[in-house]
Chain A
């Protein structure tokens, strides 16, 4: 896929919702080990609401699709992940503005803006054992890929980096969120937010590659 329009963005969002449906029990299990055991349940509630809204009225630009996702997640997810993912989509929406289509550089910039939003809201840094641990390497990989590649290349690079980084959160000791109360007992478990971030980026990559 050379560029991405509103329909492709909406298709990618639906792919995210499907991925969350498939993995929400696993995410909730990860969260039960080091958090409060609701991460998957919260995300699946949010993405079901997103799909309902897309079914009712699909917006006309990629930015408008992302904004719909943002506001819906903020108003339905709750917990820490609602405002964090909501902010991510909101910053991405703001970054792409009312462009009709997104090229590789714009997708990469939108990912950067999203990650910056999460950092601003959650005040976490790499190594704190949060979604930032997956998001930051994904953004860096996306930026490198954007210099040469297509939208699909950018998203593939981001997804691969996030998957690798999410698995590498296991040995870390949590310093943010509810897992931080476990201290060294958080070691040995993958961070659920990093894992869901990897899943969401993977679904974007899958959607982009299947779109050709």
Chain B
């Protein structure tokens, strides 16, 4: 394992300390328990948004804390969901009296810990709602699995619900728009290499030199199958076919196309894949009206990417276009 670290036990806390010093205008980092909170929290009278999950997916979630997006983020250990007391502390810190929405990726650990935290917050008279993001079409949505995972679509849920909260929508309205995004968003990913969790020091799975894993979650865990490496057009076609068929997205739909890097894939390849995706969608008569390309929800140094489509209407487009001021996503008014 070759990594720029000091002590595997201190990776998350030292990274948070760096983040706090680099961006004091946007965020504050609190410790014991650890969480990231927007610098001006709590914002009185507005709904607050709290998300979180394992570390190692940066910029998710701490990179999306700020005006117009998340109020706070609770980072767990690397690839491990945060604990309920972290989520509770973050929830208390951002509660401005209008309620708090928890945005939770559908992973067993995240769901259990957020559920526990929401119960604890309710006991302190904080009104908490939860929305579970499960946009990953690679996983069978059945009683035979833990259900679809929440992956890159989470970024879009956080942005759009964050914009609704920022303009002063009620907790009911913010929750409803978050749920609407969940209904309209689908993703699927591919891994070219595994990654190494600092604490274990070994690659988290194995892939041959000429193999790729289709349908990964955000830790490289599988969903569909291992296949031989293919050209970008073919990989994109496989991912987008599964995505488009699932909702389904239809001719005439307007979509946001999000090509997300898993951390180890150069941006040139992401734009190349974006080009392939535009061709594919154009052939289907699906119009791309908004785009996002880059490393937004990563898996340490894993090579790979995910593709996400969000079906847009006027409401979602307006909220997507609203100003946002976070470390990883900024848009001026």
Residue of B nearest to A46 (CB): B83
Contact A74-B84, Cβ < 8 Å, known A36-B204, A181-B223: yes
Asked whether any CB of chain B lies closer than 8 Å to the CB of A178, the reply is: yes
Residues of B237-265 contacting chain A, CB below 8 A:
none
Residue of B nearest to A176 (CB): B146
Chain A residues with CB under 8 A of B205? 32
A122, B112: Cβ atoms closer than 8 Å: yes
Contact A32-B200, Cβ < 8 Å, known A75-B83, A78-B80, A181-B145: yes
Asked whether any CB of chain A lies closer than 8 Å to the CB of B143, the reply is: yes
Asked whether any CB of chain B lies closer than 8 Å to the CB of A5, the reply is: no
Q: Complex: how many Å from CA A108 to CA B81? A: 32
Chain B residues with CB under 8 A of A38? 77-80, 197, 199-200
Asked whether any CB of chain A lies closer than 8 Å to the CB of B116, the reply is: yes
Residue of A nearest to B220 (CB): A36
Chain B residues with CB under 8 A of A182? 221-222
Q: Complex: how many Å from CA A166 to CA B107? A: 23
Chain A residues with CB under 8 A of B107? 178
Chain A residues with CB under 8 A of B85? 74-75
A7 to chain B, nearest CB (A): 28
Residue of A nearest to B203 (CB): A32
B99 to chain A, nearest CB (A): 23
How many A residues, CB 8 Å from partner?
31
**Which listed residue (B78, B108, B112, B200) contacts A178, Cβ 8 A?**
B108
Size range of the chain B interface in the assembly: 35 or more
Q: Which residues of B contact A (CB under 8 A)?
A: 33, 54, 76-85, 107-109, 112-113, 115-116, 139-140, 143-146, 149, 197, 199-200, 202, 204-205, 217, 219, 221-223
Residue of A nearest to B78 (CB): A38
A83, B112: Cβ atoms closer than 8 Å: yes
Asked whether any CB of chain B lies closer than 8 Å to the CB of A177, the reply is: yes
Among A75, A79, A180, A182, chain B packs the most CB atoms within 10 A around the CB of A79
B146, A75: Cβ atoms closer than 8 Å: no
A177, B108: Cβ atoms closer than 8 Å: yes
Residue of B nearest to A174 (CB): B145
Chain A residues with CB under 8 A of B222? 181-182, 185
A84, B112: Cβ atoms closer than 8 Å: yes
Q: Complex: how many Å from CA A75 to CA B205? A: 28
**Which listed residue (A37, A78, A121, A177) contacts B83, Cβ 8 A?**
A78
Residue of B nearest to A175 (CB): B144
Q: Complex: how many Å from CA A41 to CA B202? A: 13
B199, A80: Cβ atoms closer than 8 Å: no
Residue of A nearest to B113 (CB): A83
Q: Complex: how many Å from CA A185 to CA B197? A: 22
